[in-house]
Structure 1
Amino acid sequence: MSRQPGGASAQPAAKKSLGQHFLKHEHICRRIAALLLPQPEDRVLEIGPGPGALTRALEEQPHACLLLLEKDDHWAAERQRLAGARTQAVLTDALRFDWSRITPAYPWKIAGNLPYNVASPMLWDMVAQARGLQRGVFMVQKEVGQRLAARPGTSHYGALSVWVQSFVRPRLEFIVGPGAFSPPPKVDSAVLTFEPLPEAARPPHAAELSRLLKICFQQRRKQIGGIFRRCGDAALLTLPEEAGLAPQLRPEQLSVADFHRLSALLAAKA
């Protein structure tokens, strides 16, 4: 058991229910903080600071303010107790955070070592709702990182790939082994950067896109013509031909632009 700066009580064990694996290597934390491309005017939000290794690296970088979202009441209290002058910790579940509060008029940079069990749904919501996201840097399970950055035609390419890449440009920066964490996970982790796409490049029919992705990638090995015939919605039957796509194509062969075209056609039928 280690003690926190300032004479805090011994660190409690990580909670499996929260998927906690605490990042402990300072040089990795500094690399993550530097990938935010920090500027003095930045508003920075950290998800799940835990014992605060990444928090301390972020506090060392230029920034205007640092907001910490922590679900664990012990660590939320510790982070607030030890907070720097421009840091505030909030006890909250980031899965329930209203990302729409991050607007172009009030932009933020976001970083975090995301628990493996919540990273995918959290990022799904964040990229679509946080229209004021300036830049993101996230540690996730390596497999999730590969899915986020995957290209069409690869084994990792799926609904999460298309959705996230509809809003941001993800880049896999580096891989982190289990030894960088306490307790060590059983798999490698990946650090990715998210660069938001221009507003004009975002999907105008997000609801239809989400629906199509869930329909298509539940049967990723099937041909899209057959998938649409079997789903029982007449509006989908002629979508491939209208989009100029061969019905024999499989979902994993379609580009992000292909899915945007399909979702626009589906929206026009509503």
Structure 2
Amino acid sequence: MPDINLFTAAKAKKSLGQHFLRDERVVQRIVDLLRIEEGDQVMEIGPGPGALTALLRPLPWKRLLLLEKDDHYAAEHAARPLPGLEVVAGDALAYPWEAMEGPWKIAGNLPYNVASPMMWDIVSRAPQLSRAAFMIQKEVGDRLLARPGGKDYGALTVWIQSFVSVQKGFVIGPSAFSPPPKVDSAVVVFLPLPPEKRPADPEALARLVKLCFQQRRKQLQTILRHALPDRYSPEILAALGLEGTQRPETLSVSQFQSLADALFSKK
């Protein structure tokens, strides 16, 4: 398989969860899913040796921001300047997403060990995310696409689906990477939801879903009575058409949002 990277790939760092893409067909499919148009602002998270970057560079974006934690690759990319290209050496988990101005399209082969908290932050904190295409562990992808009632449905599902519509891209085997991971990967696409479908109080929703899914096998009334004795009452559930005997995994995304509002309303 030919080398498609801009730079010779150094040995992958296990501490950074690095697995470098080496299949050009896969890389091209990710770029296609991002649907870059003239004048777009584009961010790539973790470009590494540049397999995805090489296909992004000639596209008609207005601005291309490369966010790279590995100092070696950050310096390599910075040494290949291009009008509108910016390289930021830093950790995506510490990036000030709120400061991003204007619409952005974001792509990345996300490290498996930090993909979930990274996506949690991006969907809720990037003010004008317009589209995203992320490669992640297939198991995490299954959780993002899950529906109520299944084993994959959890706090991450509810949170992500409260901000974006998640679309299934495609599945990739380990042989597309160097070194090959021990699991399959998947590409998912995020499309932002309109403001009226997003949570009115994100902090309340985050608190509720973490609380409920830490005890997902227990009944709602048991969880809420013990954790929120000053806020919970059976009438709150009844008003939302919920039963106290329901388990968290049976609630829809919109029901979680409504329950969070009812429990934590400042009124």
Query: Which category describes the TM-score, using the shorter chain as reference length?
Result: over 0.9
The corresponding residue for 2:189 is 193
- Hey, what's the Cα distance between the residues in 2 that align with 1:177 and 1:83? 33
1:136 is the counterpart of 2:132: yes
Deviation at 1:82, TM superposition (A): 2.6
Equivalent position amino acid for 2:243 in 1: A
1:115 is the counterpart of 2:101: no
User: What residue ranges of structure 1 are gaps of 5+ in the alignment?
Assistant: none
Question: 1:122-177 CA deviation, whole Å, 9 max, x = no partner?
Answer: 11111011121010000000011111111111111000000000000011210010
The corresponding residue for 2:164 is 168
Deviation at 1:83, TM superposition (A): 4.1
Deviation at 1:86, TM superposition (A): 3.2
Higher deviation after alignment, 221-230 or 176-185: 221-230
- Hey, what's the Cα distance between the residues in 2 that align with 1:84 and 1:56? 12
Three-state SS of the structure 2 residue aligned to 1:215 is helix
In the alignment, which of 218, 222, 233 is matched to residue 222 of structure 1? Answer: 218
Paired-residue identity, % = 52
In the alignment, which of 138, 141, 147 is matched to residue 151 of structure 1? Answer: 147
The corresponding residue for 2:55 is 57
Deviation at 1:4, TM superposition (A): 6.4
Three-state SS of the structure 2 residue aligned to 1:235 is coil
Three-state SS of the structure 1 residue aligned to 2:57 is helix
The corresponding residue for 1:265 is 262
- Hey, what's the Cα distance between the residues in 2 that align with 1:83 and 1:244? 58
Three-state SS of the structure 1 residue aligned to 2:186 is strand
Distance 1:140 1:3, change over 3 A: closer
Maintained 8 Å contact 1:83/1:89: no
- Hey, what's the Cα distance between the residues in 1 that align with 2:68 and 2:210? 30
The corresponding residue for 2:76 is 78
Maintained 8 Å contact 1:134/1:195: yes
How many pairs were matched up?
264
Equivalent position amino acid for 1:213 in 2: V
Higher deviation after alignment, 54-63 or 159-168: 54-63
User: What residue ranges of structure 2 are gaps of 5+ in the alignment?
Assistant: none
- Hey, what's the Cα distance between the residues in 2 that align with 1:66 and 1:215? 38
1:124 is the counterpart of 2:120: yes
- Hey, what's the Cα distance between the residues in 1 that align with 2:229 and 2:134? 38
Distance 1:3 1:245, change over 3 A: closer
